[in-house]
Amino acid sequence: MSQTFFVTGTGTDIGKTYVTSLLAKYTTERGLSTAVMKPAQTGMTDPMNGDLGKVKAVAPGILDIPLELACPYCLQFESSPHLAAELSGIEIDLTKITRAYHEIKAKFNPDVILLESAGGIYVPLNQRQIMADIPAALGIPAIIVADAALGTINHTVLTINELRRRDVEVRGVIVNRVPDEPGILIRDNLKMIEKFGKVEILAQAGTGKGFISDLGLRHIF
């Protein structure tokens, strides 16, 4: 039975693709067959050089999933997915995304599926639905990628609470851009996220250095 996680973040350029690639490397190196899915990506001129290609470069052992399943909506204009789709003359259909997910499960039977969101949970898919509707529709838990810097407590706890309000389980937080020797501010940020978010910090990632602490991942994989 597949374990599936919706990897989202507290905002754009927070490091979701980097963390997704580290998660995929972590699982494949432990012998878990792993599929990675990007339901919608914008700014795509060459699909093979998008986020899925970046994950593959770090975790070459992930399953080779046809692009139409791994990325149901690859859109050229770099913007929120709803606008990129509108400029392409289409509308993103959540049903197409859920069908692709279930087809991946049925055809490849992976041990782990990682779905990486575009931006944060309130990024629109269309005029009616947002990113948070994907894990809600699939009934899958989320892992939140957060920045280590000042302001992260507010952004992270708001994201946690909104997902829970939508009945999406939050399995934990991975904090990105943690320096080798974090100072009192960053150490306190992590402590306050756990306290007010009532959530576990699963791992800490350093910029370009991979996971510098990953003890919490052992609780879910």
DSSP state of 215: G
3-state secondary structure of 172: strand
Q: Which residue, chain included where needed, has tokens 């575009």? A: 118
Buried b (16+ CB within 10 A) or exposed e, 41-51: bbebeebeebb
Beta strand segments in the chain, E: 3-9, 34-37, 40-41, 73-74, 112-120, 142-147, 170-176, 201-206, 210-213
Annotated catalytic residue within 25, 38, 96, 209: 38
Catalytic annotation present for 38: yes
Give me the active site residues, please.
38
